[in-house]
Structures are given as C-alpha cells and as structure tokens.
Amino acid sequence: MNNKKIVLFYVLILIGIPFIYAAYLYPSLPEIIPTHFNIKGEADGFGGKDSIYLGPIILGVASLFTYFFLANIKNFDPKRTGQVDNGLFQKFGLFTVLFLSLLCMVILFATTHQGIPIEKLLFPMLGFAFAGMGLYMPKIKQNYFAGFKLPWTLDNVDNWNATHKIAGKIWFYGGIIQLLAGIALSSVTSFVIFFIDMIVMVLVPAIYSYRMFKNGNKLS
C-alpha cells in the first residue's frame, strides 16, 4: 500500500468516527434535539433526532472534497507544477480533515450535553487550527490556490516566501493565544480575541508583502 492510499485510509477513518459517535448517541436522544447554537453557546435551532447525522454528512462531504483537492492540487495548478509539493498539501488536507472531524464531534457532544458551553470547546479548537496552519505556511510553495495569493506574492517568489514565513509565525502564535483565551477567558472575550486574531493574521502579512513589493522585493 503506497503512502497516498495510507493517508486516504486515515482520512476515511477520521470521517467515519463522527458517524460512529452519532450512531452511539442516537438511541438515547429525545425526539427533538438542538441543531444550531448562537454566539453565547445557546441552542437557537432544533430538529428531529435524525438530524444528528446532518453534521457528519455535511462535514464529511466537505472533508472529502477538501482532501482530494489539496492532495491533487498540482493537477489544478499547471503553471507551477515544478514548485507545488503534492505531499505537503496531502498532509495539510489530512490536518484539515482532522480539524473538521473534531469540530463535528464537538457539535455532537454539545447537542447531547447542553449544560456544557460549546464555545469553551470551539474557540480552543479554532486556536489549534490556526497554530497548525501557521506551521504549514512557510512550507507552501508559490501556487494559485493556497496561501496569500496577492498580486505581489504571485509575481515574485521571494515575496511569496518571505510573506509566508512571517505569516506562519503570526498564525502560529495567534493560534496559541486563541487556544489559551478559549480555555481561560469568557466566551465574549474569546470571541473578540478571535476577530482581532483574524484581522492581524490577514492584514499584517498582506501589508508586509506590499511594503516588500514597494521596496523592489528586497527584505530590507
């Protein structure tokens, strides 16, 4: 069994786990269960007990699509086939599937344990995802599909590499901050930190890239 088939096997296992958990929960569910939660972690949408499978189905399809796209990204990026690393994107796809499966498990858990605030699980998970993506950022080669696809990064490989190096650090530490905030702080504060994190993680690398472009794509 080659490496690609092994990773696909792991992907299918991760996608299947939420279905198994949903099947385990199903017999003990009431006829009406929560299907949506607001910013405060309160249930504000409800449906029949069969809707317990809706999350695993939606996120399972999204996981498969994302994995197959990332694992075969070189086929969709013909102008840069010499630089795109399918192996790296395959691992990133597996990481994405892991995150979506964990997200699905959190939603299923919150559905059957309404006394536990979902945001105390969700915000640390988002921080984990940001930190994980930060580790991948510096390794992403110039391409048209993933990363900071700005006019200046796509035009110059040095700009791309430098931008993703700084972005990787910002996303990693921003993710750690979000993870810790989600555990230690209130849901409202974690929500505010989440949006501040997002603004910083998007704007700072973009501004850095543009300033480097104006400086003739030189680091100093």
Bigger pLDDT: 74 vs 66: 66
Which one of 65, 90, 115 terminates a domain? 115
Same domain, 211 and 124: yes
Structural domains in the chain (count): 2
Among candidate residues 182, 147, 180, the one with its CA nearest the CA of residue 166: 147
Taking the C-alpha atoms of residue 137 and residue 117, their distance in angstroms, rounded to an integer, is: 32
Residues 52/29, Cβ–Cβ less than 8 Å? yes
Same domain, 138 and 76: no
pLDDT value at position 45? 65
**What is the number of helices (H) and of strands (E) in the chain?**
8, 2
Same domain, 127 and 183: yes
In the beta sheet, which residues pair with residue 34?
46
Same domain, 214 and 202: yes
Same domain, 98 and 129: no
Same domain, 196 and 105: no
Taking the C-alpha atoms of residue 24 and residue 1, their distance in angstroms, rounded to an integer, is: 31
Indicate if the pLDDT at residue 148 is higher than 70: yes
- What Å distances lie between residue 198 and 11, 41, 119, 205, CA to CA? 28, 20, 17, 12
- 164-217 per-position pLDDT tens digit: 999 999 999 999 999 999 888 887 888 888 889 889 998 999 999 999 988 887
CB 110: neighbour CB atoms within 10 A?
A: 21
Same domain, 42 and 30: yes
Same domain, 101 and 6: yes
Same domain, 17 and 67: yes
Same domain, 40 and 107: yes
- Write down the pTM of the prediction: 0.73
Q: How confident is the model at residue 86 (pLDDT cuts 50, 70, 90)?
A: low
pLDDT value at position 116? 67
What percent of the chain clears pLDDT 70, i.e. is strictly above it?
86
Tokens 């498969």, residue? 64
In 12-82, beta strands by DSSP E: 32-37, 43-48
Same domain, 91 and 159: no
Same domain, 98 and 8: yes
- 18-73 per-position pLDDT tens digit: 999 999 988 887 787 766 666 555 666 677 788 888 889 998 999 998 888 877 77
Phi, psi of 101 (to 5 degrees): -70, -40
Q: What is the mean pLDDT of residues 100-123?
A: 79
pLDDT value at position 176? 93
3-class DSSP assignment, residue 38: coil
pLDDT value at position 43? 63
Q: Which range of residues forms the domain containing residue 161?
A: 117-220
